[in-house]
Structure formats: structure tokens, C-alpha cells
Amino acid sequence: MNIHLFCVMRVRDENKIEALLAEARKMVVEEGFDGLSMQKLAKAAGVSPATIYIYFKDRDDLLIQLYKRETDRFFEYIFRDFDPEMDFATGMTVQWKSRASYVIENLDNTHFMEHFKYSHLHQKAMALRDPKYAEGLKRFVRKAIDNKELVEMPFEVYWSVAFAPLYNLVHYHKAGRNMAGDPFVLTDEMLLQTLSLVLKALKP
Amino acid sequence: MNIHLFCVMRVRDENKIEALLAEARKMVVEEGFDGLSMQKLAKAAGVSPATIYIYFKDRDDLLIQLYKRETDRFFEYIFRDFDPEMDFATGMTVQWKSRASYVIENLDNTHFMEHFKYSHLHQKAMALRDPKYAEGLKRFVRKAIDNKELVEMPFEVYWSVAFAPLYNLVHYHKAGRNMAGDPFVLTDEMLLQTLSLVLKALKP
DNA sequence: AAAATAAGTGAATGTTCATTCATTTTTAAC
DNA sequence: GTTAAAAATGAATGAACATTCACTTATTTT
């Protein structure tokens, strides 16, 4: 074994990885998981099919890495201004508005993340998640319940009441239609009203 | 043209259609849309691949027909005991509990419907929907707002606050895990609490 | 500039895909 | 039991699929 073994090497091209993942996301959002083929992806990203396999073990690995990257970016953003020690109303508002602005500004990324949650790869991908963000939110909720700022409830009930309505509205917005097929555009006013309804539900 | 043209004919085998759709749903739920191939489906349903094309135009048509069948069955069930003329608290409770019991008892069907909503076929499938159910719910909401039993809000905000938390909880339940990867089993108590939180949010 | 090594490739591999077609089977009316 | 017509089929088709491999290119240390 040579001491220089890890020194003589050409650098990984991060731009290629970026391009591949961005194109893959676009293809999945536009045509579904069965619309993502490795040869079409290679062409769209301007590389050879073989190059994909330098950076990713296989197709599943590429999708899992993409999901991990998307969730990392998402969590980093929404926890930037959030502190579990905030009082409940402040913390909820910060957390909710961060999520809202991220998903509105990143409709494709959000669509991909939500779509991925229904795939059989989701289980495998969850194992790679950094638990620190979920832990922070859990601590925030536990503290709020202890302080009587939040009705006592399981964490999953809290999460579902607090955030599921937001993602549902954004899904309509991305489609441009509501559940009945009517045209729909999400407004700031609707977002603020939804937040206030959610707070009303959760506060004692 | 012969008068017997429409009399001499072999009957369509509804069992085959049932078997095909049931197996297709199972394959999509277990392996995703890219896990559904026509040859594997034919084998699973015990027919020849060519037989599928007697009943369905192509793969997309099969998926769209399946989605239509699932949503029809779902809406028929949840509107069975519901009447738009009910007062708000009663109507909401009936509607919510119907949805809850259907989705809990039909986890695979629900998973398929939710998954399908993120596919590019969803737009096409929505055009086939009978609008009568959505109309009933809209009338119910309009009347509740007029009667001051429900805060004034867009229909989409109402729907999202009212029902999105339920579907989110059921998604965790089906996976057996919450968003953080912890084991999760949905209980009746959680369902009832979620309903009461939602009612609190919506009532003036 | 030579040597070393990873990055990158185009063409090829064998497989699986959706779909079709020539043919046979089943059914129901006569 | 003959006839008509749809139902059903197995085998075949060509396209598209994920992945690999022998090879070339680029980069850095020596």
C-alpha cells in the first residue's frame, strides 16, 4: 500500500452530480418514477450512461441519494430560524412559515419528496436520515405540553394537525387544481388563515 | 347488418377484470408504478398478456380505470350516511368518521389512491370523476358558513384542515412508522382526538 | 515528461418491456 | 349440431431497459 494512494486522484465533478440529480428530479416530477430511465437521464445531464455508475451504485441508490439530498436541504432551511426552546406560539409560527415559504418556492422539490414517500424505497431512505431535526421538534412539543401551551396529544397527531393541511394546499397549488378539479391558486391570505386555524386547534 | 348482431356474444368476464385490477393495485402498492408490468400482471391474474388488452386500451388506461374504480367505491362509501343538509357538527362528524373507517379498513386501496395523486395520470383521471360528491360537500360547507357554524374560508382550506391530518396519520399507520422512523400504530383514541381538534379549528 | 490513477466514455450485453397477431376456444342463438 | 362472433391465447416483435466493459482522457505526483 502506497502512502500516495489517496493523493493521486482526479477530483469528483460535483457539477455532474448536481446536474444528474436535478435532471432526475425533473424527470420523476414530470413523468413519474417509471419515466426515469438511466439512458434518458444520461442524455439530459450531458454525460455517458456509464458515468452515472461512477457516482451511484445503481438506479435505486440514485433515487435514495436524491431523496436524502432534498430532505437535508429542506430540514436545514426550516430549522434555520427555529429553536426548540421558543415558546409554543412563536416556535409554531416560525416553523410553519419556514415550511410554507420553502415548499412554495420549491414546488418541484416538494412534489418529489411527497411522491417518494409512497415508494417502496422510502423505508430504506429513512434509515439514512439525521435524527437531530425530529428530536428538536419532539423536544419542542414535549416542552409545550409540559408548559400547558399545547393540548396533550401524541407527537404524530400534533404533526398531522399542524402541517398536513399546508402540504395538501401546496399540492393543489402545484397542480393548479383542487380535489374537485376546479382551478386553484394558493394565496398568502389562505396560508395565514390556515396557520391561525391550526393554532386554534392546538392551543388549550 | 343483422338483428342478432348484439345478441350473439360471449359475456365479458367481470371476474377477470376484478382479478386484474386487484393484482395491479397490489403490485403498485408493493413495488411502485415501475413494479407494474403487463406480463407480470397477466401471470399474477392467471390470464394471457393479450387478454388484458381486450379489457383495457393500454397500461395507462388500466391504471386510470383502477383509480376511477377505487375513488368511486370510496366516495360511495363515505357519502352513504352523509347529507349536505345536516348541521355542521353532525355532518362533519359523520363525514370524518366514514372516511376514517374506510381508510383504516382499506389501507392498500387508500395507499394506491394517495400514490396515484402524484402521478402524471392524475390529471387525466380527474376528468372522469363524477362531480356530484364534491358538489354535495361544497354545498354543505357553503351552508355551514352562511349559518355561522363554520368560520368563513375557501373550500380548499376547509378540506385541508378537516381531512389532510387524517390521511397523514393513516399513512404513518400503513407504514408502521412515523415521519421520524419510530414505530407507530394508530388508535381509535388518536382518531377521536384528531377529529375534536379539527372541529375546534373550524368552529367559530 | 513519465508514471500512476481516477474520471469519463461509446458501444455492447442480455433482459424485460408494452403491445400485437394469427389462431384457437368458448358461448349462445338458431 | 351448425354457425357466428366475441373471448382468450401463446408466441412473437421491436423498442427500451439497467448495467457493464474495454478503452481513452485528464490530472497530479514524481
The CA–CA distances, whole Å, from A163 to A18, B29, B39, B113 equal 29, 25, 41, 20
| Coil vs helix vs strand at A2 | coil
Q: What b/e sequence results for A133-146 when a residue is b if at least 16 CB atoms lie within 10 Å of its CB, and e otherwise?
A: bbebbbebbebbbe
Q: Which helix (H) or strand (E) holds A36?
A: none
pLDDT digits (tens, 9 = 90+) for B130-189: 999 999 999 999 999 999 999 999 999 999 999 999 999 999 999 999 999 999 999 999
Q: Of the candidates A155, A161, A193, which has its C-beta nearest B197's C-beta?
A: A161
Which of A30, A52, A53, A31 lies closest to A41, judged by CA? A52
**Span B3-32, average pLDDT:** 80
Q: Which nucleotide is nearest to A13 (CA to C1')?
A: C7
Residue A149 and residue A156 in contact, taking contact as beta carbons nearer than 8 Å = no
pLDDT at B11 over 70: no
Q: Determine the Cα–Cα distance for residues B72 and B102; give it in Å rounded to an integer.
A: 13
pLDDT band at A13 (very low <50, low <70, confident <90, very high): confident
Verify whether the Cβ–Cβ distance A160 to B181 is below 8 Å.
no
Between vectors from CA B94 to CA B90 and to CA B97, what angle results, nearest 5°?
A: 135
Q: What is the DSSP string of B101-140?
A: HHHHH-HHHHHHHHHHTTSTTHHHHHTTS-THHHHHHHHH
A169: contact with B, CB 8 A cutoff: yes
pLDDT at B58 over 50: yes
- Chain A contacts in chain B segment 58-77 (CB below 8 A): none
The CA–CA distances, whole Å, from A117 to A3, A77, A124, B27 equal 44, 20, 11, 16
> CA–C1' span, A48 to D29, in Å?
28
| Coil vs helix vs strand at B177 | strand
Q: Assign residue A62 a region (left: φ > 0; alpha: ψ between -120 and 50; beta: otherwise).
A: alpha
Instruction: Name residues 21-60 of chain B with a Cβ under 7 Å from nucleic strand C.
Output: 36-40, 49-50, 52-53, 58-60
Which of B135, B131, B109, B202 lies closest to B164, judged by CA? B202
Residue A97 and residue A195 in contact, taking contact as beta carbons nearer than 8 Å = yes
pLDDT digits (tens, 9 = 90+) for A184-204: 999 999 999 999 999 999 999
* pLDDT for A10: 56
Residue B190 and residue B124 in contact, taking contact as beta carbons nearer than 8 Å = no
pLDDT band at B13 (very low <50, low <70, confident <90, very high): confident
Q: What is the pTM of this model?
A: 0.94
* pLDDT for A8: 52
**Chain B residues whose beta carbon lies within 8 Å of the beta carbon of residue A177:** 123, 126
Q: Determine the Cα–Cα distance for residues A164 and A7; give it in Å rounded to an integer.
A: 49
Which of A106, A24, A34, A102 lies closest to A67, judged by CA? A24
**Chain A residues whose beta carbon lies within 8 Å of the beta carbon of residue B142:** none
> Mean pLDDT across chain A, nearest whole number?
94
A152 touches strand D (CB under 7 A): no
Residue B177 β-bridge partners: B183
| Coil vs helix vs strand at B183 | strand
Q: Determine the Cα–Cα distance for residues B87 and B131; give it in Å rounded to an integer.
A: 22
| Coil vs helix vs strand at A123 | helix
Q: Name the H helices within A46-183.
A: 49-55, 59-78, 88-105, 107-116, 122-126, 132-146, 155-175
**Chain A residues whose beta carbon lies within 8 Å of the beta carbon of residue B177:** 123, 126
pLDDT digits (tens, 9 = 90+) for A19-77: 999 999 999 999 999 999 999 999 999 999 999 999 999 999 999 999 999 999 999 99
**Span A162-188, average pLDDT:** 98
pLDDT band at A11 (very low <50, low <70, confident <90, very high): low
Percent of chain A with pLDDT over 70: 94
Q: Which residue of A has its CA nearest to B126?
A: A181
Which of A36, A18, A39 lies closest to A27, judged by CA? A36
**Chain A residues whose beta carbon lies within 8 Å of the beta carbon of residue B164:** 160, 164-165, 167-168
pLDDT band at B203 (very low <50, low <70, confident <90, very high): very high
* pLDDT for B14: 77
pLDDT at B26 over 90: yes
pLDDT digits (tens, 9 = 90+) for B71-115: 999 999 999 999 999 999 999 999 999 999 999 999 999 999 999
B119: contact with A, CB 8 A cutoff: yes
* pLDDT for A20: 97
pLDDT at A87 over 70: yes
